[in-house]
Amino acid sequence: MRAIVPSAAVATDAPGVTETAQPTAVPAAAPGPAPASTQSPATAVPAGTQAPATAVPAGTGTAQGETTPVAAAVTRPLSDLLTEVEIPTPVPAPHEVRIRIRSAGVNAADLLQARGHYPPPRGVTDVLGLECAGTIDLVGEDVPTLVAQGGTLTDLSVGAPVCALLAGGGYAQFVCVDARHVLPLPPKPEAEQTRGTETANGGGVSSHRGEDGTAPTQADFDRAAAVVEACAASWMMLADVGGLAPSADRGEANTPTTDSANSAYPIDASPTSSPRGSDVAATAGDAPTGRTVLVHGASGAVGSIAVQLASAWGHRVLATAGDADRARKVDSLGAARCFDYHEDWVCPVRSEGGADFTLDVIGAAGLGSNVKALARGGTLAVLGMIKGAKAELNLGLLIGKNATIAARTVRSQSAQEKAQLCRHLAEDVWPLFAQGRVREVIGKVGSLRNAHDSVGVDRRGDGSRPFGKTVLREDWEPEG
């Protein structure tokens, strides 16, 4: 299958590798034991990340900070950072499904990985992409056809249109993923739903219908690929870390189960919230409403969703964006006030009593200002490090405010914790899409074969940075 990997991960001296702009086919691995040369003992793949029938090529499962080149055919170098390759098509493990990808979302982590700053976890493919949307084309033997995620049913049969939260692999033709991390496409706003009208599905790989009775269009896959990671990150930080979601949504009464690859079924038996939510915020009783929530990077993929979620939950949202024009657009998403990040935003936030909760993607460059802007007892939740990873911290100011700093990434969560996040998206966040209270914000639609035109555009500083999310459509050339 075709896939996009960091150029640095390609073994130019590996057997069978051809540096050429012409496609060089590599047959998928045949069922049976994998050749010893395709995987070293140091890169053993954990159960569930890839079926034994198609062993992950060398380099797709290395220790954090290590890079072992991918043994694959180079079909087309895209740039100094990205290369299109052909690798064996994966086969799902018993608890996985395989998705034929129609759209993939672009995340800042993709650029960091391409530059060698964010290697995939052990056992995870080097193929970029942390989220995707498409149709199921193969189902593992232990996966039920229909799964209950709280009050939502997810169709996991062949042909079902779905989206998924991935550890990697979204920039490809196919990806295998734990069935617990698969979701139905987010519903359209009820005002836009029409029943009984069949529409083209952009390729016709599924006859399944959405909640509105129509076949999914390419635009439906695009909007799904644009929100999975952003919604998961927003829920994780706002609800699990900040305790800002309604208590009924947080599912606090449930007891965690063990993190086993095959303990997922029935999915409805798994807990509905992270057991670590209490390490930062109280999780008993109703979540407070009317808290002041500060969202940095509010014109980006995660920020634009976080603003809408916090607003939908009844909190007062303050935000920052890269310029005045972007700030005005953020206001339309539900922010009470959005400031130009390059101007003084600390004083206006403090004049309103400070931030009870701050979602930060800036990192080191904003640490001091963020602590100053916190209210007493406030929480600074760090999700990204766009402007650095190391900074000096005034502990006296932090202690004086009785404040907390927390940091998480979605990719580092366990399989069980990701299953819990996906359950919340299906049960608690997707209904907000149907109600029109949360919507996708897509700033650019690109293509997978030209991923280099989109990955990294946020950092060019040439005014081309899109507002919201960038998605990449499947556009692989026919093989043969």
User: Average pLDDT, whole number, for the chain?
Assistant: 79
In 10 A of CB 238, how many CB atoms?
A: 25
Which one-letter amino acid corresponds to residue 341? Y
In 10 A of CB 171, how many CB atoms?
A: 28
In 10 A of CB 471, how many CB atoms?
A: 29
DSSP assigned state of 476: P
Q: How confident is the model at residue 298 (pLDDT cuts 50, 70, 90)?
A: very high
Round to whole Å and give the CA distance between 80 and 114.
9
Chain-centre distance for alpha carbon 410? 7
- pLDDT digits 0-9 by tens, 110-138: 988 998 888 898 889 999 999 999 999 99
305 membership: H or E segment, kind and range:
helix 301-312
DSSP assigned state of 401: T
370 pLDDT higher than 80: yes
83 pLDDT higher than 50: yes
Round to whole Å and give the CA distance between 184 and 182.
7
Contact 38, 55 (CB under 8 A): yes
424 pLDDT higher than 60: yes
**Residue 312, Cβ density class (10 Å: 0-12 exposed, 13-18 middle, ≥19 buried):** middle
Which one-letter amino acid corresponds to residue 164? A
Round to whole Å and give the CA distance between 258 and 264.
10
Which one-letter amino acid corresponds to residue 477? E
| Range in 42-56, 85-99, 154-168 with the lowest mean pLDDT | 42-56
